Structure 1
Amino acid sequence: MTAYADKPWTALYEAGKPDTVTAGYADALSMFRGGVEADPDGVAIHYFDGSLTRRDVDTLSDAFASALLDAGLERGGRVALYLQNVPQFVIGLVGIWKAGGVAVSVNPMNREREVELLLGDSGSTILVTLESLYRDVAASVVERTPVRTVVTTSELEFQSRNDSRLFAGVTRIPAKEQPAPAGVSVVDMAELLERFRGTTPPPVTLAADDVAMLTYTSGTTGPPKGAMNGHGNMTFNAEAFRQWCSIGPGDVVYGVAPLFHITGLVAGIALSMLTGAPLVLFHRFEPGVAVDAVREHRPTFTVASITVYIALMNVEGATADDFSSMTKLWSGGAPIPPSTVEAFRKQYGRYIHNIYGLTETTSPSHAVPYGATAPVDEASGALSVGLPWFDTASRIVGDDGRELPPGEVGEIAISGPQVVSGYWNKPEETARTFPDGELRTGDVGYMDDRGWFYIVDRKKDQINAGGYKVWPREVEDVLYEHEAVREAAVVGVPDEYRGETVKAFVSLRPGHDVTPEELIAFAKGRMAAYKYPRQVEVLDELPKTASGKLLRRELRGRLHTP
């Protein structure tokens, strides 16, 4: 097999299909063990002023696996990880695999209703969580779930800096002081690791089609669904990342994407395990802390939402020199305005490659290859999300399921080794979303005659303004061209005359000021009359998911008419 880095990216497509990639490991646990054997004393995790070697993570995850088995975890049992970006997430994940279990990722922004739903749907019997998240959220619902053991831990572990921007007011809450509903035991992770230190769990054999993770969809089109990300899905995409993005042991992975999210799991944890590149963690995203982590640990690679890059551009005192190590940047999760990519390159001298994937594709299915520049569609101004990567078949289909030719807009459909087998305990949803194993993404887009793909929007986000179709991202891209606009999100709102009309919510760059009327006029002069926003509302911050995706559904709820 010819390594991707050894040949120009265009050569991969001269025959219309990229080279084949074979994952070197059948399962993610073997991948982790391979990394430990190759470089046991290499740094696995940087966390503020603390670090853990691969041997450290191996030893600690052995102890945790033994503790899980002692707590009654059986083969295939589910263990929920309700954590921020802390080393305990990695230790817990590997320990779950060593015990033969399935990890369930839970968004740390989730509140009582969501936590109860995910714990119940997954059938998790053990919950690993931050002390404050248990006290403030999970403790009130855990007795109504299958959970019988709660393992609490603190973000103050494995570091001593206690950065006040993140940890002001954070104190330890011993497990014995936590509420323990009837039938639920609450134990401290540090105590468990010490109690079982030096133990080795019985050997376990995992297969490519065994479920490694239950990663829940965001629930934008209904209740969250647990995508069954298999071990083979994870190892394939880790290897594809390694080659497509040219990642090696000399790189350092910037873990800005949340670890509970499929991007953080694969582009962060799995890629670090495979390549030997250290993983930089800093609890959660705070722009100033994030820039300090770049200065201190000199990461080279990351995948982050475009809102993260926008925030980094607005950190006072950050310079191009600070970002000189960051040579391999990708962004996914939301459409990227070409103007933002250019602004980042102008400010920091670094190009942001586009990338596209879903929870159901175990992170990417398409990406702009390292060293290539994404084309911009002349008609729509959309920036391409890239080319289908190794062994991935992608096509555009109409409402009748038939394949559409280049240039025509339809639903993006994907098949390949990264596509999951389906949703946990949801056979009807699985059959509808994965006909014949092909994922119907719900994303609307098109392919040009060179094989580059472009995203128009989600089907459900289309606005019908007096019979004219308006895609929010096209309006957003225009608004991003205004120098005062930091973030923009467009939704459809009721209108007596047109049935529905276009409304934009924006936040502004520091030091800039603009009125809604000025933004409306700006957009009106740059797009068709039926597309420009009739309403603009300026907010301090736009609501986002933990992965940085703008939440249009929350904005729709405001329905404010000026």
Structure 2
Amino acid sequence: MSVYDERPWLDRYGQQPPEIEPAHRNALAMFRAGLAQEPDGVAVRYFDGVLTRAELDAQSDALASGLLAHGVAPGDRVAAYLQNVPQFLVVLLAAWKAGAVMVSVNPMSRARELTYLLEDSGARVLVSLESLYDEVARDVVPGSAVELVLTTSELEHQTRHDPRLFAGTERQRHEGTTDLAAFIDAHRGQVPPPVTLGPEDVAFLTYTSGTTGVPKGAMNTHGNVVFTATVYRDWARFRPGGSVFGIAPLFHITGLIGHIAVSFLAPMPLVLAYRFEPAVVLDALAEHRPTCTIGAITAFNALLNHPDFTSDHFSSLTSVYSGGAAISPTAEKRFLEATGLQVHNAYGLTETTSPMTLTPFGTPSPVDPVSGALSVGVPVPSTVVRVLGDDGHDVPLGEVGEIVAEGPQVVAGYWGKPRETEASLPGRSLRSGDVGFMNDDGWIFIVDRKKDMINASGYKVWPREVEDVLAEHPAVRESAVVGVPDEKRGETVKAFVSLHAGREATPEELIEHCRERMAAYKYPRQVVVIDELPKTVTGKILRRELRGS
């Protein structure tokens, strides 16, 4: 059966389960342990700005005291509508110190999306960038439950403003809002009363992408956060003495755990660069010399393809992980050739508080000889991963089914949605919606999203397999494969492809490339070459936006 037992694997590769310190009953205690260890240590580097752990503690104390004075009570929600700025960490810690729950809001959210998130979460406080308040939130807040709006600027905590990101950016004051820095200064020196947070208390709400309905607020608990941060520290080797580069958005579960939480735990500095702009990121890597990071392979590819890239940009890194988007064996090889580093795979969802499987540090992921898929790793310790058939029973090893996970990282449920919780998280066992298989050694291979399967003349075609074959063509930078209606076949395979700069390939050439390498029912009958594929802010390609193209 496709049920993973970690013990033989741990013995074979010399890995140990993550070691969770008894004092770390919640994520706030995790931060405070790092603070006690090195109070003057750097918590955040943001361009030329530095925030120490002691100052981060003092600012979050003041903000928490102010929130409590304004009536925020334990369990209330505080929404953060921010880019990758130091204030994100201040808000997160302050929410915890007030006994509140932080609501993580995608800064790309527009009025309709922000309206839904504020309404669904019932947030009483909104902390927003001034620019986002001006563009979006000012029209949304009046109809919401928000009682206090604190605004801040991306120009805070730095003096050298990069013209590539901040040209023309000025401070903006808006009626009905309070400046975050002034609010903190007004409560400077105040310390909130002790708060009791248990492992099952919700640390933050992270909203799913809503690809199969409205977004749902996953209730990531303090116990979830502590466990997965420890996995990154111990298994991925995000260790003290180095620093972690925040290439993923902080609002996303990867950024919340693989950047913020592990930087609290290690402890080590977190390097931020506002948002992903390849040239700016390359300069930040060269300036700050981080030792570890995790991001989407699409982001890494953008760096490798930038004209300013050299292998020296990655020379300080010792541990590089990728999650959020599938990696092809070709992409893994190109990364190794370009940087000299092994990019390790990680796989998880919002509902698993980041990783549920991981390629242990220093161990290359195997490639399945039949499908050509690169493994996403083995289940992390204390985690049970199963592969289930349509009948709900375990399938034999090597057979394809839905990936299901149970473990300390699985969320308690969806905020205010008991029916959806029971459907996707029955008994706190996550039905991932991803289809894959497990080999004899416990390695997990993801085939695709269950809903993306193409039925061509009665044959199953998984887009991921076609995309991996397209990736082998030297001109192809990225691809996305979807099923489109076809009178004869029911559905047929259509590929959207973007090319490397300076390379050329015709649709006919790409179709022939696939036809020579795949069964007749699998290769794409239609190929469209476009400049850029649509993506989420975390780098996932949006197939749904291509289906009607």
TM-score under structure 2 length normalisation: 0.97
Distance in 1 (alpha carbons) for counterparts of 2:288 and 2:271? 7
* Deviation of the 1:317 alpha carbon: 2.6
Number of the residue aligned with 1:239: 230
Number of the residue aligned with 2:52: 53
For the residue of structure 1 that corresponds to 2:412, the secondary structure is coil
Q: Is the 8 A contact 2:18 2:235 kept in 1?
A: no
Give 1:510's match in structure 2, choosing from 501, 505, 508: 501
Matching residue's letter, 1:300: T
Distance in 1 (alpha carbons) for counterparts of 2:298 and 2:287? 22
Distance in 1 (alpha carbons) for counterparts of 2:280 and 2:241? 23
Tell me the alpha carbon deviations over residues 4-61 of structure 1, each in whole angstroms, 9 at most, x when there is no partner: xxxxx98614499963643540101111111111000111001001110100100111
* Deviation of the 1:70 alpha carbon: 2.1
Matches within 5 A, 1:121-160: 121-160=120-159
Tell me the alpha carbon deviations over residues 71-127 of structure 1, each in whole angstroms, 9 at most, x when there is no partner: 221110001111100001001100111111000001011111110001000000111
Tell me the alpha carbon deviations over residues 151-186 of structure 1, each in whole angstroms, 9 at most, x when there is no partner: 11110110122111111221111134xxxxxxxx41
For the residue of structure 1 that corresponds to 2:495, the secondary structure is strand
Number of the residue aligned with 1:550: 541
Tell me the alpha carbon deviations over residues 373-392 of structure 1, each in whole angstroms, 9 at most, x when there is no partner: 00000000000000001111
Tell me the alpha carbon deviations over residues 474-503 of structure 1, each in whole angstroms, 9 at most, x when there is no partner: 010111111111111111111122111111
Matching residue's letter, 2:290: P
Number of the residue aligned with 1:196: 187
Which 10-residue stretch deviates more, 420-429 or 243-252? 243-252
Number of the residue aligned with 2:65: 66
Matched, 1:318 2:316: no
Matches within 5 A, 1:272-291: 272-291=263-282
Matched, 1:19 2:10: no
Give 2:382's match in structure 1, choosing from 369, 380, 391: 391
* Deviation of the 1:245 alpha carbon: 1.2
Q: Is the 8 A contact 1:287 1:315 kept in 2?
A: yes
Matched, 1:363 2:362: no
Number of the residue aligned with 2:453: 462
Change (3 A) 1:394 1:346: same
Q: Is the 8 A contact 1:447 1:454 kept in 2?
A: yes
Distance in 2 (alpha carbons) for counterparts of 1:349 and 1:34? 35
For the residue of structure 2 that corresponds to 1:62, the secondary structure is helix
For the residue of structure 2 that corresponds to 1:395, the secondary structure is strand
Matching residue's letter, 2:488: Y
Matching residue's letter, 2:523: Y
Matched, 1:105 2:104: yes
Tell me the alpha carbon deviations over residues 412-469 of structure 1, each in whole angstroms, 9 at most, x when there is no partner: 1100001111111111111111122211111100000110000000110001111111
Tell me the alpha carbon deviations over residues 318-343 of structure 1, each in whole angstroms, 9 at most, x when there is no partner: 21122111120111112111101100
For the residue of structure 2 that corresponds to 1:519, the secondary structure is helix
For the residue of structure 2 that corresponds to 1:492, the secondary structure is strand
TM-score under structure 1 length normalisation: 0.94
Number of the residue aligned with 1:43: 42
Q: Is the 8 A contact 2:18 2:234 kept in 1?
A: no
Give 2:409's match in structure 1, choosing from 406, 418, 421: 418
Q: Is the 8 A contact 1:382 1:474 kept in 2?
A: yes
Give 1:495's match in structure 2, choosing from 460, 480, 486: 486
Q: Is the 8 A contact 2:35 2:54 kept in 1?
A: yes
Tell me the alpha carbon deviations over residues 175-228 of structure 1, each in whole angstroms, 9 at most, x when there is no partner: 34xxxxxxxx41111111111111111111111100000000011111000000
Change (3 A) 1:379 1:497: same
For the residue of structure 1 that corresponds to 2:460, the secondary structure is strand
Q: Is the 8 A contact 1:21 1:391 kept in 2?
A: no
Number of the residue aligned with 2:4: none
Matched, 1:405 2:404: no
Gaps (5+ residues) in structure 2? 1-6
For the residue of structure 1 that corresponds to 2:103, the secondary structure is strand
For the residue of structure 2 that corresponds to 1:497, the secondary structure is coil
For the residue of structure 2 that corresponds to 1:483, the secondary structure is coil
Change (3 A) 1:338 1:539: same
Q: Is the 8 A contact 2:238 2:244 kept in 1?
A: no
Tell me the alpha carbon deviations over residues 240-292 of structure 1, each in whole angstroms, 9 at most, x when there is no partner: 11110122211210101110000000010000000011100000000011111
Distance in 1 (alpha carbons) for counterparts of 2:279 and 2:104? 27
Which 10-residue stretch deviates more, 398-407 or 261-270? 398-407
Matching residue's letter, 1:82: Y
Matched, 1:259 2:250: yes
Q: Is the 8 A contact 1:98 1:204 kept in 2?
A: yes
| Alpha-carbon RMSD | 1.5
Q: How much identity, in percent, do the aligned residues show?
A: 59
Q: Is the 8 A contact 1:368 1:374 kept in 2?
A: yes
* Deviation of the 1:537 alpha carbon: 1.3
Matching residue's letter, 2:149: V
Matching residue's letter, 1:545: T
Distance in 2 (alpha carbons) for counterparts of 1:157 and 1:503? 46
Q: Is the 8 A contact 1:249 1:277 kept in 2?
A: yes
Number of the residue aligned with 1:478: 469
Matching residue's letter, 1:231: H
Number of the residue aligned with 1:249: 240
Matching residue's letter, 1:346: E
Distance in 1 (alpha carbons) for counterparts of 2:18 and 2:69? 42
For the residue of structure 2 that corresponds to 1:556, the secondary structure is coil
Change (3 A) 1:302 1:16: closer
For the residue of structure 2 that corresponds to 1:266, the secondary structure is helix
Matching residue's letter, 1:83: L
Distance in 2 (alpha carbons) for counterparts of 1:21 and 1:416? 15
Matching residue's letter, 1:359: T
Distance in 2 (alpha carbons) for counterparts of 1:411 and 1:17? 27
